[in-house]
């Protein structure tokens, strides 16, 4: 793909993101996006075969940023428990900034959950792989108890869903606690090795 083509693709994604954020995914049409770019809809369709594909590109960028942030923390030279805590806090912070109080953004994610489930599964798989590597390192070094890293990773992800899932972030903010720090402490306790093996 030549650079001008890549730029056009990028510009379409930027514009779509602004529409999704301002008027919502459902109400945005490919014609709106094309018009705002002074393009024909046919030209947009050269790059994306549907609004769903554009949404996937917007979410792929979000997820790419999210995954890069986690990968950077995973690679730091710090105790493994600190890195794992930081990965969970960072995921919350990123999702909080993106989705909290932003009904329009829920709409995008909900649409993706209905229309682009494979893309969501891909993100979960990459999130799990990053987390699993850190958990495995902790088990190996004795910093964590002898758990199965894959199983522990799936439990950690599931225990944290209230802090990562766009819909739950708003629903659960009206429920009694725990705070993100309390939740992470609880998870870390489940990974702590028994004292005599420490």
User: Over the Cα atoms of the chain, what is R_g?
Assistant: 20
Contact assessment for residue 170 and residue 100, using Cβ atoms and an 8 Å cutoff: yes
Q: By C-beta, is 32 or 128 nearer to a copy of itself?
A: 128
Q: How far apart are CA 120 and CA 78, in angstroms?
A: 30
Does 101 bind a copy of itself (CB under 8 A)? Our answer is: no
Does 75 bind a copy of itself (CB under 8 A)? Our answer is: no
Does 161 bind a copy of itself (CB under 8 A)? Our answer is: yes
Binder among 10, 103, 141, 171 for a copy of itself (CB under 8 A): 171
Smallest gap, in angstroms, from Cβ of residue 126 to a copy of itself? Answer: 12
Binder among 103, 117, 140, 142 for a copy of itself (CB under 8 A): 117
Q: By C-beta, is 76 or 151 nearer to a copy of itself?
A: 151
Does 181 bind a copy of itself (CB under 8 A)? Our answer is: no
Contact assessment for residue 21 and residue 105, using Cβ atoms and an 8 Å cutoff: yes
Q: How far apart are CA 107 and CA 131, in angstroms?
A: 27
Binder among 32, 115, 128, 137 for a copy of itself (CB under 8 A): 128
- The CA distances from residue 119 to 38, 59, 109, 124, in Å, are 30, 9, 11, 9
Q: How far apart are CA 93 and CA 110, in angstroms?
A: 20
Does 172 bind a copy of itself (CB under 8 A)? Our answer is: yes
Which residues touch 110 (CB under 8 Å, ≥6 apart)? 166, 167
Q: By C-beta, is 2 or 158 nearer to a copy of itself?
A: 158
DSSP secondary structure string, 90-120? HHHHHHHHHHTT-HHHHHHHHHHHHH-HHHH
Instruction: Please count the residues of this chain forming the interface with a copy of itself, following the rule CB under 8 A.
Output: 39
Residues near a copy of itself, by CB under 8 A: 113, 117, 121, 124-125, 128, 145, 147, 151-152, 154-156, 158-159, 161-162, 165, 167-168, 171-172, 174-178, 182-183, 186-187, 189-192, 194-197
């Amino acid at each position: 793909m030549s650079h001008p083509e890549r730029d056009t693709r990028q510009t379409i994604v930027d514009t779509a993101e602004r529409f999704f954020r301002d008027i919502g995914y459902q109400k945005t049409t490919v014609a709106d996006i094309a018009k705002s770019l002074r393009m024909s809809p046919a030209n947009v369709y050269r790059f994306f075969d549907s609004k769903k594909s554009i949404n996937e590109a917007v979410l792929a960028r979000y997820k790419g940023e999210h995954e890069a942030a986690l990968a950077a923390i995973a690679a730091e030279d710090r105790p493994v428990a600190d890195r794992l805590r930081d990965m969970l806090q960072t995921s919350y912070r990123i999702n909080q900034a993106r989705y909290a109080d932003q009904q329009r953004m829920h709409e995008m994610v909900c649409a993706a959950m209905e229309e682009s489930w494979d893309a969501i599964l891909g993100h979960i798989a990459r999130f799990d792989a990053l987390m699993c590597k850190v958990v495995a390192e902790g088990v190996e070094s004795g910093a964590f108890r002898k758990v199965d890293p894959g199983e522990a990773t799936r439990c950690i992800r599931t225990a944290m869903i209230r802090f990562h899932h766009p819909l739950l972030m708003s629903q659960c903010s009206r429920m009694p606690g725990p705070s993100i720090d309390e939740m992470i402490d609880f998870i870390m306790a489940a990974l702590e090795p028994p004292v005599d093996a420490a």
